[in-house]
Amino acid sequence: MRKFLIAAISTLLLAAPASARDTLVIYTYDAFTADWGPGPAVKKAFEAECDCDLQFVAATDGVALLNRVRLEGDKTKADIVLGLDTNLTASAKETGLFTPHGIALDDVSVPGGWNDDTFVPFDYGHFAVVYDTDAVANPPKSLKELMEGGPEPKIVIEDPRTSTPGLGLLLWVKKVYGDGAADAWAKFSKRVLTVTPGWSEAYGLFTSGETPMVLSYVTSPAYHMVAEGTERYQAASFAEGHYMQIEVAGTTLKGRDNPLAARFLAFMTGPGFQDIIPETNWMMPAGKTTKPLDPAFDRLVKPSESLIFTPDEVAQSRKAWVDEWLAAMSR
Question: Per-residue pLDDT tens for 100-141?
Answer: 999 999 999 999 999 999 999 999 999 999 999 999 999 999
Give residue 1's pLDDT.
Answer: 36
pLDDT digits over 290-312, tens only?
999 999 999 999 999 999 999 99
pLDDT of residue 20: 63
Expressed in percent and rounded to 5, the helix, strand and coil fractions of the chain are 45, 20, 35
In the structure, what pLDDT confidence band is assigned to residue 331 with cuts at 50, 70 and 90?
Answer: confident
Is-contact 86 245, C-beta < 8 A?
yes
Q: What is the mean pLDDT of the chain?
A: 94
Identify which has the larger pLDDT, 4 or 268: 268
Q: How far apart are CA 327 and CA 32, in angstroms?
A: 32
The arithmetic mean of pLDDT across residues 84-95, rounded, is 97
Q: Coil, strand, or helix at residue 184?
A: helix
Phi, psi for 179 (deg, rounded to 5): -70, -10
> For a pLDDT cut of 90, what percent of the chain falls above it?
92
Instruction: Centre a 10 Å sphere on the Cβ of residue 185 and count the other Cβ atoms it contains.
Output: 23
Confidence of residue 174 (pLDDT cuts 50, 70, 90): very high
Buried b (16+ CB within 10 A) or exposed e, 156-181: bbbbbbbbbbbbbbbbbbbbbbeeeb
Q: Which of 258, 279, 244 is nearest to 125 (CA)?
A: 244
| Residue pLDDT, tens place only, 131-148 | 999 999 999 999 999 999
Phi, psi of 70 (to 5 degrees): -60, -40
CA–CA distances in Å: residue 102 to residues 9, 88, 117, 136: 45, 20, 7, 48
The yes-or-no verdict on residue 16 having pLDDT over 50 is no
pLDDT at 14: 40
Q: Is the pTM of this model over 0.75?
A: yes
Helix (H) / strand (E) containing 206: helix 199-207
Angstrom distance (rounded) from CA 260 to CA 54: 9
